[in-house]
Amino acid sequence: MLRVSVVIPVRDDAVHLRRCLDALAMQSVVADEVIVVDNGSRDDSAAVAQAAGTIVLTERVRGIARASARGYDRASGDVLVRLDADSVPPPGWIADALRLLDDPEVVAVTGPGCPHDGSPVVGRVWDAAYMRPYFALMWAALGRPPLFGSAMAIRRDTWLAIRSRAHRLDPEVHDDVDLSMQLDPAWRVVADPALTVQVSARPFSGLGSAVLRTRRAFHTFRVNGRRANPVRRWARRARVAARRRAVTGWWRVR
C-alpha cells in the first residue's frame, strides 16, 4: 500500500483549516501524515493544526508556492496530496486518488472544486465561469489536464524530478499552474470528477480577487518561458505518441 502525505499550506484560515482536518480524519483511507505549513498566520491556524495532531511547519516568507514546496520536501509518503485550507474532501477522496494512481503511467491526479458556501446560483456560476474554463483553457495550453491546487495528488518521485524547476521563491506565481508546467507534456495526468472537493467561494469575493488571479496566471506563463509555450508542448506530446505507436503499434494517444 502506498504511503500518503497530505500537504496543506495555510495563512490566517483557522476556521476553514479545522473543517479540512476534520474531513481528512473521516477518510476511508487515512493519510499516513498530514503536514500543515503555516505561512505567517496571525490567527490560531497553527494551534488548530497542532491540536489535530498534524506536523506543523513554519514558513515565514510569504508565498503559497514556497509554503507548498516546503511541505512536499518534508513529506515522506509515496503519494503527496495537496489540499488548500478551505478544501473539504469527501470520505473516499484519498481512496479514489490512490485508485487512479494504481496505473503506473499516471504521475498525478486532480479534480475540480465546488463551493460549499453561497447559493445554488453561485455554484452554477462557479462551474460555468471558473472551473470549466480553467480546465479547458489550461488543458489547451499545457497539452494535458492541469493540476488544481485545492484537490491534487502527485507521486513523490514526480516531485523529486521537477522540484528544482518549480518557481518556489516567486510569490506571484500560481503554484498549481507553475507545477503543472514543470510536468512533461507527455506524462499522464488524470482529471477525474471523483476527486471533486468542496472549497470556499472566495475567488468570487470581488473584482480585486479576479484581477489578482488573472495577473498571476499571466505572470506564471511569462516566468516559465519556453516551457509554457503551447505549440512546443503539443509538439512534444505528438512526438512521444508517435514513438509509442512505432514501438508498440498502439494508436491511442494517452
The cell numbers describing 146, all together, are 492541469
Does 105 map to a domain? yes
Does 107 map to a domain? yes
- How big is the CA angle at 126 (ends 123 and 130), to the nearest 5 degrees? 160
Does 220 map to a domain? yes
Rounded to two decimals, what is the model's pTM? 0.92
Q: What is the pLDDT of residue 245?
A: 79
Distance CA 173, CA 100 (A): 28
Structural domain containing residue 106: 4-248
- The pLDDT of residue 154 is above 70: yes
- In this prediction, residue 214 has a pLDDT band, given cuts at 50, 70 and 90, of confident
Domain tally for the chain?
Answer: 1
- The pLDDT of residue 124 is above 60: yes
Q: What percent of the chain has pLDDT over 90?
A: 81
- In this prediction, residue 254 has a pLDDT band, given cuts at 50, 70 and 90, of very low
193: left (phi over 0), alpha (psi -120 to 50) or beta: alpha
- The pLDDT of residue 252 is above 60: no
Does 240 map to a domain? yes
Does 253 map to a domain? no
- How big is the CA angle at 84 (ends 32 and 165), to the nearest 5 degrees? 85
Task: Tell me the CATH number at 160.
Answer: 3.90.550.10
Distance CA 12, CA 43 (A): 5
